[in-house]
A and B are shown apart, each in its own frame.
Chain A
Amino acid sequence: MSNRYPVLPTNKAISRLGVAYVRKVCAHAHVGFTEESADEDHLAVDGAIRTRGASTPVQIKATTTKSIKKVAGTFKVDVDPDWVEKWRQNINPTYLILVLLAKKSSSWVVYDPTATTVPGFAIWERVDTLAEGTTSLTMDRAQRFTPLTINDWTEILQAGYGPVSA
């Protein structure tokens, strides 16, 4: 399934799909998401999850891989030292979300009669606590980004401001 009249180049389309994936998880978690417009990405952050109390900045990276089902263990992601410097300046916990998608654009989303499936997944790593000069990051296949992650992040965020009940 593909559109005969594409507007976005492939890499841009992949990045849009990555943002859409994160938005979907946020909506599922009953939490809002604010996206920075592309030209304002000066803090190496694509958006903010509207967690309770204060927003959680996130950087979203989307990429495709040939054999999405075979991805296992950990893998390395290169990060720009300038981004690291900017993440370190954030006063609230900040995360990198990596969205992995199928290689062929026709398989990015599968439209079954009763289900719309994205063959892919997203994993995360905290980045505001990275050491200065970090150039690559080891990400864990098991650390998936789901609505439960947003729970955990909210608790970590709020712990910075003292014990909050409910």
Chain B
Amino acid sequence: MTVGAGVGRPDPETFRIWLLLAGWEDVSRGPRGAMLRWGDELVAIPDRLAEDHRAAWDVAERVAETMGESRDFVWKRLSSPRSDRVQFRLVGENLPSGRLPLGAASDALKNARKLLSASGTSVKSPTRYIGRRYLPEAQLVAREAELAHTEDGSFIFPLYVSLGTTEEPLRYDGDVVFEPYERQVTRALSNALARSVAMLDGDVDRIPESDLDAASAVGVSRELCVAVDDLLRHELIEKVEVSFDWSAAYGAATGLTRSVTIPRESRSQYRRLANRLGKPAVQQTSVFSGSLLQIGHSSDEAEPAFFCVLDTYDESIRTELRISLTPDEHQRAIRWYDARATVVVQGQPVRSVSGLSMPKHDRIEAWVTEPLPPGGN
């Protein structure tokens, strides 16, 4: 029974939510804890799991066997549930099994770090071109992300980003939990990669400036594109797959991207996209992105007004932006809220004593790649 050093205290409740998200079903609950089911398999999750290391390890072993996951990964989910896993998989037919040329490996690590720094900068100061203006807090997240043992298969290296280490999560109305900055960074990375891949579908030179601005709001920056291009530099790497395993500590992250694959052929397009982002046009409107904190409507029956509140940044300061919605947008926003999707809004903000608001917007959309529940996006 050997477990790595530096593991946290098992947290059965967050682990249970993670299992439910992964496809397990609740069966029953008794005085000792909860019973979950996956097909014919049962696993008991004791409430006092943290007090019995042996029982905790037994749970991890059973879950790993049932799901076909590695025991270490499941143990990590059980013992430090407040972390997101970002896993890079480098694929190439001619790559030697289980090995990687050192040049490609060091490029991969360097660029993984750059991707986190760029995404973290875009969270607070969305921009098309970062230059040397990386935010120190973003660089800190990139520096503190933990590289775990490489996994079997092509060449796979997992990074764990611990959540809530730089600031304590705050509560909003005792209900919604503010995501910590580190989650915003991993969220931005997943969004930016997915968004950038989607942008390459058409002709990169014809993408409207306003779309580039909107993309920059979810983290697509020149630096991110350069890092992706560089990640694929070694000729043996045919594609890179970045997958995300989201901590369940901040609610059901069903609206977040799970996996993005970038083929080697996209390199030249990434370079063109980087070039276009590097020559920013004058921005006409402001773009904000973040997750929804609240959805509501005013109690005035004569004039029903719908709104949502976005957890975002205004000139690098964390802000709540109140956005007015049409009834139709309000319906969609409810689903975005439930899925914890990233929402992007473009328009002219109004600053007043009661805070930042946007009575009119040019567009509002959620960036989701996973299918939403029926009637989604």
Which chain A residues have a beta carbon within 8 Å of chain B's beta carbons?
Answer: 36, 40, 43, 45, 48, 52-55, 57, 89-92, 157-164
Q: Which residues 249-270 of B sit at the A interface, judged by CB distance below 8 A?
A: none
Q: Please give the residue numbers on chain B whose beta carbons come within 8 Å of chain A beta carbons, in ascending order.
A: 1, 27-35, 42-44, 46, 48-49, 51-52, 54-55, 58-59, 62
Can you spell out 23 A-B residue pairs with CB atoms less than 8 angstroms apart?
A36-B1, A43-B54, A45-B54, A48-B54, A48-B58, A54-B44, A54-B46, A54-B55, A54-B58, A55-B55, A89-B51, A90-B52, A90-B55, A92-B46, A157-B44, A158-B35, A160-B30, A160-B46, A161-B27, A161-B29, A161-B34, A161-B44, A162-B34
Residues of A within 8 A of B52 (CB): 89-92
> Looking across the interface, which residue of chain B has its beta carbon closest to that of A90?
B52
CA distance A161 to B28 in the complex (A): 6
**How far, in whole Å, are A52 and B52 apart by their CA atoms in the complex?**
18
**Known contacts A91-B52, A91-B55, A164-B28; A52/B42 CB under 8 A:** yes
Instruction: Choose from A40, A43, A57, A160 the contact partner of B32 (Cβ within 8 Å).
Output: A160
The B interface, classified by DSSP as helix, strand, loop or mixed, is: mixed
B47 to chain A, nearest CB (A): 8
- Please tell me which one of the listed residues B29, B43, B46 contacts residue A91 in the complex, with CB atoms under 8 A apart: B46
Known: A161-B29, A161-B30, A162-B28. A57 touches B54 (CB 8 A): yes
Taking a contact as CB atoms under 8 Å apart, the answer to whether B35 and A91 are in contact is no
Pair B35/A164 contact, Cβ less than 8 Å: yes
**The residue from B29, B51, B59 contacting A162, defined by CB atoms under 8 A apart:** B29
Would A55 and B58 count as touching, CB distance under 8 A? Answer: yes
Cβ B28 vs Cβ A53 within 8 A: no
Given A91-B52, A161-B29, A161-B32, 13 new contacts (CB under 8 A): A48-B58, A53-B35, A53-B44, A54-B44, A90-B55, A91-B55, A92-B32, A92-B46, A158-B35, A160-B31, A161-B33, A163-B28, A164-B35
Looking at the assembled complex, report how far the CB atom of A44 sits from the nearest CB atom of chain B, in whole angstroms: 11
Cα(A90)–Cα(B52), bound, Å: 6
Instruction: Give the chain A neighbours of B30 by CB distance below 8 A.
Output: 159-163
A9, B62: Cα distance in complex, Å: 36
- A162, B34: Cα distance in complex, Å: 7
- Contact B33–A160 (Cβ < 8 Å): yes
B42 to chain A, nearest CB (A): 4
A43 to B53, CA, bound (A): 10
Q: Is the CB of B27 within 8 A of A164?
A: yes
Closest chain A residue, CB of each to CB of B48: A91
Q: Do B28 and A90 touch (CB < 8 A)?
A: no
User: Which residue of chain B is the closest to A45 with respect to CB atoms?
Assistant: B54
- Please name the residue on chain B nearest to A43 by beta carbon: B54
Q: Please measure, in the bound complex, the distance between the C-alpha atom of A17 and the C-alpha atom of B51, giving whole angstroms.
A: 32
Residues of A within 8 A of B31 (CB): 160
- Once the chains are docked, how many angstroms separate the CA of A164 from the CA of B33? 13
List residues of chain A with CB within 8 A of the CB of B32: 91-92, 160-161
Q: Which of B35, B44, B55 has the most CB of A within 10 A?
A: B44
Q: Which 8 A-B pairs have the closest CB atoms?
A: A162-B28, A160-B32, A162-B30, A161-B35, A54-B44, A53-B42, A53-B44, A161-B30
The answer to whether A91 and B28 touch across the interface, beta carbons within 8 angstroms, is no
Contacts of A162 in B (CB 8 A): 27-30, 34-35
Known contacts: A91-B32, A91-B46. The answer to whether A54 contacts B1 by CB under 8 A is no
* Cα(A157)–Cα(B28), bound, Å: 13
Question: What are the residues of chain B within 8 A of A160 when measuring CB–CB?
Answer: 30-33, 44, 46
Tell me the minimal C-beta distance from A49 to chain B in angstroms.
11
Given contacts A53-B35, A164-B27, contact A158 B44 (CB under 8 A): yes
Q: Which chain A residues lie closer than 8 Å to B55 at the CB level?
A: 54-55, 90-92
Residues of A within 8 A of B1 (CB): 36, 40
Q: Which residues on A sit within 8 Å (CB–CB) of B44?
A: 53-54, 92, 157-158, 160-161
Q: Nearest chain B CB to A108's CB is how many angstroms away?
A: 31
* Of A43, A45, A55, A89, most B-chain CB atoms within 10 Å: A55
Bound complex: CA A53 to CA B43 (Å): 4
Nearest residue (CB) in A for B43 is A53
Contacts of A92 on B, CB cut-off 8 Å?
Answer: 32, 44, 46, 52, 55
CB distance from A64 to the nearest CB of B (A): 30
